[in-house]
């Protein structure tokens, strides 16, 4: 599955419209309604050896909208299973590297949320509702379905959480449950007066692991729509999840801006700080000059990082700087599709970045490190090599259809 990757040219993109929340069975139903064959899904899940588990679908109507309701029938609806047991079962099933890896990430994300909420470690977490056989089917099945649909990037609407109370193995909990609130940290949410749980931990873990951004992707042209039904009939609204699949050129990422202000950090420490932040998962690190209280000059340390690395990057800021507080918020980063290739030039084989612009034009740009190496080897100015290579590459006709 190419979720999180980037290709030149159009990309198959999925958009989840979560106007009535999201759950594992709703995701499966939406994928099946969008074109995945039930028999194929059943065959894909067979290596998991989930004895007694059966899948069944039916077409239902929710406020006059036809949708697919996927029933996952299991013999033991809520056994206690450790994360290690679940991952071992998935990894031993031979499902393919991508499906196995992404499903593991979903369960680990779920495990970290449960551990944080209940004040324990992920190794000590024993899944109850989330560790049941139906959740294994929901998570592995959804990951497999997205790969089968060819979805290279997933976008999502705001989360609709619901309200009220639910009974769980941990007792009576408010809606949204604490694990759901932990999972959607950094994501946009919207209130709902509907007195039921609309977003489940399994659904939240899947979406926050798989989705790259919130909101409709730019240049999005839909061609398939699937509706996955929830089990409840809601009077207030259709209890449905809408999956829209289409093409888009512009990849995007859902990231967090993490920052703090400093006015007393020794300048030589900024270099090692950047190294530690990148090692913790940051994708960009910047120093921004600011004026702080008492007219002191200072520096804002600002970084972009995936949501799952917020805790790690924040820990680096507290350990490596003098800050007493860190702030963060979610952002969407759009990037042009690009790939690294080698091009035969008058300087020999040169590392080149090929970039597709939003209007469809393809540009070839020499990698700076390659230009510097050539300049050092030939004893000439780096800017002369950059200029010569840029001009030479501009005269080439790059293949617009080649993908990463």
27-39 burial: b if 16+ Cβ within 10 Å, else e: bbbbbbbbebeee
The average pLDDT across 145-171 equals 90
At 400 the three-state DSSP class reads coil
Q: Looking at residue 77, what is its pLDDT? A: 55
Angle in degrees, CA 327, 333, 338, rounded to 5: 140
The average pLDDT across 6-22 equals 80
Mean pLDDT score of the chain: 88
How many Cβ atoms sit within 10 Å of the Cβ of residue 273? 20
Name 387's Cβ contacts closer than 8 Å, sequence gap at least 6: none
Distances (CA, A) of 321 to 259, 287, 317, 331: 12, 13, 6, 24
Find the range with the poorest average confidence among 132-136, 213-217, 261-265, 394-398. 394-398
The average pLDDT across 206-232 equals 90
pLDDT tens digits for range 355-367: 877 667 888 999 9
For residue 8, what is the DSSP state?
Answer: S
To the nearest 10 degrees (0 to 180), the angle between helices 382-394 and 368-378 is: 120
Q: How far is residue 394's CA from residue 359's CA, in Å, rounded to a whole number? A: 17
Q: Looking at residue 333, what is its pLDDT? A: 83
* Residue of higher predicted confidence among 343 and 308: 343
Which residues share a beta bridge with 68? 59, 228
pLDDT tens digits for range 365-388: 999 999 999 999 999 999 999 999
Band (209; pLDDT cuts 50, 70, 90): very high
At 308 the three-state DSSP class reads helix
Distances (CA, A) of 156 to 34, 87, 166: 16, 26, 25
Q: Looking at residue 52, what is its pLDDT? A: 82
Q: Looking at residue 17, what is its pLDDT? A: 97
Q: How far is residue 397's CA from residue 233's CA, in Å, rounded to a whole number? A: 57
Q: How far is residue 47's CA from residue 144's CA, in Å, rounded to a whole number? A: 13
Contact 315, 329 (CB under 8 A): no
Q: Looking at residue 397, what is its pLDDT? A: 66
How many Cβ atoms sit within 10 Å of the Cβ of residue 100? 18
**pLDDT at residue 53 tops 70:** yes
pLDDT tens digits for range 58-115: 999 999 999 999 999 887 655 567 888 888 999 999 999 999 999 999 999 998 898 8
**pLDDT at residue 140 tops 60:** yes
The CATH architecture annotation of domain 253-334 reads 2-Layer Sandwich (3.30)
Question: Which residue, among 397, 373, 398, has the nearest Cα to 386 in the 3D structure?
Answer: 373
Scanning the structure block, which residue is given the tokens 């993109």? 13
The average pLDDT across 144-166 equals 93
Distances (CA, A) of 220 to 153, 247, 251, 399: 12, 6, 11, 23
pTM of the model: 0.69
Domain ranges of the chain: 11-250, 253-334, 338-394
Q: Looking at residue 398, what is its pLDDT? A: 58
Question: Which residue, among 314, 315, 290, 310, has the nearest Cα to 300 in the 3D structure?
Answer: 290
* Residue of higher predicted confidence among 125 and 291: 291
The average pLDDT across 135-161 equals 94
Peptide bond into 176 cis (omega under 30): yes
Of the chain, the percentage scoring pLDDT greater than 70 comes to 91
CA 324 to chain centre: 30
Question: Which residue, among 334, 373, 368, 332, has the nearest Cα to 352 in the 3D structure?
Answer: 368
Backbone angles phi, psi at 124, to 5 degrees: -95, -5
At 224 the three-state DSSP class reads strand
Q: How far is residue 162's CA from residue 209's CA, in Å, rounded to a whole number? A: 21
């Amino acid at each position: 599955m190419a979720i999180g990757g980037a290709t030149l040219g159009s990309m198959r993109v999925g958009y989840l419209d979560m106007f009535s929340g999201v759950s594992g069975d709703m995701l499966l139903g939406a994928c099946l309604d969008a074109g995945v064959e039930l028999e194929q899904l059943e065959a894909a899940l067979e290596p998991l050896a989930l004895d007694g588990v059966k899948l069944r679908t039916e077409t239902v109507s929710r406020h006059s909208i036809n949708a697919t309701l996927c029933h996952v029938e299991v013999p033991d609806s809520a056994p206690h299973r450790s994360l290690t047991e679940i991952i071992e079962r998935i990894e031993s099933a031979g499902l393919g590297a991508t499906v196995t890896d992404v499903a593991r990430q979903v369960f680990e994300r779920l495990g970290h949320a449960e551990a944080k909420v209940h004040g324990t470690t992920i190794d000590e977490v024993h899944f109850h509702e989330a560790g049941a056989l139906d959740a294994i089917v929901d998570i592995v099945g959804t990951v497999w379905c997205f790969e089968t649909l060819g979805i290279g990037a997933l976008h999502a609407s705001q989360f609709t959480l619901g309200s009220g109370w639910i009974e769980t193995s941990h007792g009576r909990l408010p809606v949204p449950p604490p694990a759901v609130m932990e999972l959607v940290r950094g994501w946009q949410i919207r209130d709902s007066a509907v007195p039921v749980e609309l977003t489940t931990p399994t659904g939240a873990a899947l979406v926050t692991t798989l989705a790259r951004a919130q909101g409709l992707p730019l240049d999005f042209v839909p061609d398939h729509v699937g509706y996955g039904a929830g089990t409840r009939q809601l009077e207030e609204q259709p209890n449905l999840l809408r999956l829209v699949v289409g093409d888009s050129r512009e990849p995007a990422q859902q990231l967090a801006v993490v920052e703090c202000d400093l006015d007393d950090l020794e300048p030589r420490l900024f270099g090692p700080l950047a190294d530690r932040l990148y090692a913790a998962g940051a994708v960009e690190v910047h120093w921004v000059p600011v004026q702080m209280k008492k007219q002191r000059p200072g520096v804002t340390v600002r970084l972009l990082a995936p949501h799952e690395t917020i805790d790690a990057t924040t820990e680096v800021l507290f350990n490596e700087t003098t800050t007493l507080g860190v702030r963060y918020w979610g952002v969407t980063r759009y990037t042009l599709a690009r790939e690294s290739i080698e091009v035969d030039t008058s300087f020999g084989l040169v590392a080149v970045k090929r970039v597709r612009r939003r209007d469809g034009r393809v540009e070839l740009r020499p990698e700076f490190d390659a230009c510097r190496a050539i300049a050092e080897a030939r004893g000439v100015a780096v800017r002369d090599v950059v200029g010569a290579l840029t001009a030479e590459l501009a005269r080439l006709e790059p293949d617009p259809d080649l993908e990463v």
